């Protein structure tokens, strides 16, 4: 498979578009993410801040972007680590000042170590600073220090910016609508993730541990060209499936249990997010099947509501209506459906929402309400649709046969001009398809077992 990336000019278009939206005589300042320590001397893998990467394409830590619209010497400035051959031997290559301009399109680049001396001069006499406040509290202080520096020069006739404006609001609105280039990357993330889930279905069997299934997923992500997971994979068997963000993934898979896998790859900083739930031994029991088919029906009803002109909450409302009616049919709830929906009687079994925006962040940015009303869906928006049902072990008033069953089915959906496209449809999700895939994988596995050993 060939690698895909975004063209440099897409990043330039984004910066231009942002600068057009900024008021006159303003500056934008954006930090990348800090490096975080895992334990002594060991860092977590660095991942750039999504907003920062969206506007710069610059992947290194310790970097700051400053946009100064109308600055004659250049509007797009990057502060980066300087080249340092000794440090590069230990910690890897750096673009340096030259690379920041030549490879990442900066008009001007400066050493990150000089930022405190340079930025005050860039913000003096500007009216507004666009800055994402409180995102990285450790750097808020630094920015306030720059403002104090400018203020201390007031007697020299320098004016201090009078307003701070939330930069992230503007960038997040831009990120909400995906371009053709972004969709190519999201399709790739979806494709690789779909193949990984299929693989997990084919290899899972009683006696394996949850983390061994996780190993298969991660192997498929990386073999497919995705360097990282978009979030910690959830591989929960049996009662672990009712813990929404279970990530210990330590237990053995038991015959007769379901396995819930929520895992997604990140491709070029774009996420996929798929959940499938299937029986460890390849055959659903009758109660598992009853709940599973209800979640699937809810998911299909929700997906049918993903179309331009519908509002954000319509898929959720559709899922809740199906789930509530189904819980009544199965005897888990009693009463009239409209009233149960109104009272949110489904919540002990379905306590999360039906989806979220998806993009560079798995829970992507963009407001869900605009002026107090649910946002209307538009082509180019990408979201998940992921209803579930979770019956706590020992749930009061619930017959024992349902206890400890956790099911979620999650797909990634693009709003198109006339409806939607399910980007992750390649992973089986009907009972019949799942059982067929697992039966043929099981047949292959048992044939292998009967082959004579080599040597």
Q: Which is nearer to Mn ion, 124 or 314 (CB)?
A: 314
The reply to whether 390 belongs to the active site is yes
Q: Which is nearer to ligand GLY, 101 or 383 (CB)?
A: 383
The reply to whether 408 belongs to the active site is yes
Q: Produce one character per residue of 183-198: b if its CB has 16 or more CB atoms within 10 Å, e if not.
A: bbbbbbbbbbbbbbbb
The reply to whether 316 belongs to the active site is no
The reply to whether 352 belongs to the active site is yes
Residue 38 Cα distances to 41, 45, 60, 89, angstroms? 8, 9, 18, 22
One-letter-per-residue 3-state SS of 369-388: EECCEECECCCCCEEEECCE
List the catalytic residue out of 75, 108, 390, 411: 390
**Chain contacts with Mn ion (rule: CB under 5 A):** 262, 273, 384, 410
Cβ count within 10 A of residue 328:
17
Query: In the 8-state DSSP scheme, what is residue 453?
Result: P
What lies within 8 Å, CB to CB, of 368 at 6+ separation is 312, 357, 374, 375
| The binder of ligand GLY chosen from 214, 239, 273, 411 (CB under 6 A) | 273
List the catalytic residue out of 75, 124, 386, 411: 386
Q: Is 386 in the site for ligand GLY (CB under 6 A)?
A: yes
The first and second tokens of residue 309, run together, are 């002109």
Q: Is 49 in the site for ligand GLY (CB under 6 A)?
A: no
The reply to whether 356 belongs to the active site is yes
The reply to whether 54 belongs to the active site is no
> What distance in Å separates the CA atoms of residue 447 and residue 180, rounded to the nearest whole number?
45
- Quote the least distance from Cβ 273 to Mn ion, whole Å: 4
List the catalytic residue out of 83, 356, 375, 425: 356
Cβ 355 vs Cβ 311: under 8 Å: no
The reply to whether 219 belongs to the active site is no
List the catalytic residue out of 20, 24, 38, 41: 41
Give the CB-nearest residue to ligand GLY. Answer: 262
- Quote the least distance from Cβ 274 to ligand GLY, whole Å: 9
The reply to whether 418 belongs to the active site is no
The reply to whether 103 belongs to the active site is no
Number of residues this chain uses to bind ligand GLY (CB under 6 A): 7
Query: In the 8-state DSSP scheme, what is residue 309?
Result: T
Binding-site string for ligand GLY from residue 333 to residue 372, where x marks contact by CB under 6 A and - marks none: -----------------------x-----x----------
> What distance in Å separates the CA atoms of residue 287 and residue 407, rounded to the nearest whole number?
12
The reply to whether 182 belongs to the active site is no
| The binder of ligand GLY chosen from 51, 60, 262, 412 (CB under 6 A) | 262
Written as one string, the DSSP assignment of 66-128 is EE-TT-TT-SEEEEEPPP-HHHHHHH----HHHHHHHTT--SEEEEGGGHHHHHHHHHTT-SE
Residue 231 Cα distances to 262, 269, 332, 363, angstroms? 9, 12, 33, 10
Sign of the dihedral defined by the CA atoms of residues 352, 356, 361, 364, in that order:
negative
The option from Mn ion, ligand GLY, none interacting with 16 (CB < 5 to 8 A, set by class) reads: none
The first and second tokens of residue 432, run together, are 């019949």
The reply to whether 371 belongs to the active site is no
Q: Report 207-236 residues binding ligand GLY (CB under 6 A).
A: 231
- Quote the least distance from Cβ 218 to Mn ion, whole Å: 16
Which residues of the shown chain bind ligand GLY in the complex (CB under 6 A)? 231, 262, 273, 356, 362, 386, 410
Instruction: Please list the active-site residues.
Output: 41, 245, 262, 273, 352, 356, 363, 386, 390, 408, 410
């Amino acid at each position: 498979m060939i690698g895909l990336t975004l063209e440099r000019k897409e990043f330039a278009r984004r910066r231009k578009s942002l600068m057009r939206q900024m008021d006159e005589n303003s500056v934008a300042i954006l930090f990348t993410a800090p490096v975080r320590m895992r334990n002594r001397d060991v860092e977590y893998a660095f991942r750039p801040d999504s907003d920062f990467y969206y506007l710069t394409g610059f992947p290194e830590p310790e970097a700051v972007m400053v946009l100064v619209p109308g600055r004659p010497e250049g509007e797009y400035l990057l502060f980066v680590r300087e080249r340092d051959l000794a440090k590069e031997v230990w910690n890897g290559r750096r673009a340096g000042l030259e690379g920041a301009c030549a490879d990442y399109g900066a008009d001007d680049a400066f050493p990150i170590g000089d930022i405190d001396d340079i930025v005050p001069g860039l913000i003096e006499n500007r009216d507004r600073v666009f800055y994402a406040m409180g995102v990285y509290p450790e750097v808020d202080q630094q920015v306030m220090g720059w403002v104090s520096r400018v203020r201390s020069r007031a007697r020299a006739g320098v004016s201090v910016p009078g307003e701070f404006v939330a930069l992230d609001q503007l960038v997040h609105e831009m990120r909400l609508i995906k371009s053709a280039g972004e969709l190519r990357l999201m399709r790739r993330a979806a494709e690789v993730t779909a193949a990984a889930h299929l693989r997990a279905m084919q290899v899972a069997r009683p006696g394996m541990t949850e983390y061994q299934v996780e190993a298969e997923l991660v192997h498929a992500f990386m073999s497919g060209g995705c360097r990282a997971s978009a979030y910690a994979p959830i591989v929960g068997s049996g009662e672990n499936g009712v813990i929404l963000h279970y990530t210990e993934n330590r237990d053995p898979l038991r015959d007769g249990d379901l396995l819930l896998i929520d895992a997604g790859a990140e491709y070029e900083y774009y996420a996929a997010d798929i959940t499938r739930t299937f029986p460890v031994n390849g055959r659903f029991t009758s109660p598992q099947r009853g709940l599973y088919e209800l979640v699937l029906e809810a998911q299909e009803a929700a997906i049918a509501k993903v179309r331009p002109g519908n509002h954000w909450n319509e898929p959720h409302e559709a899922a809740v209506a199906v789930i509530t009616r189904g819980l009544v049919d199965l005897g888990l709830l009693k009463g009239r459906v409209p009233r149960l929906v109104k009272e949110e009687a489904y919540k002990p079994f379905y306590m999360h929402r039906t989806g979220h925006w998806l993009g560079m962040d798995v829970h992507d940015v963009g407001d869900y309400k605009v002026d107090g009303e649910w946002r209307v869906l538009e082509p180019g928006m990408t979201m998940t649709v992921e209803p579930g049902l979770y019956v706590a072990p020992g749930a009061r008033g619930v017959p024992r046969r349902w206890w400890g069953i956790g099911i979620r089915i999650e797909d990634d959906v693009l709003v198109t001009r006339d409806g939607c496209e399910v980007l992750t449809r390649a992973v089986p999700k009907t009972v019949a398809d799942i059982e067929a895939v697992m039966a043929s994988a099981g047949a292959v596995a048992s044939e292998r077992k009967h082959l004579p050993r080599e040597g």
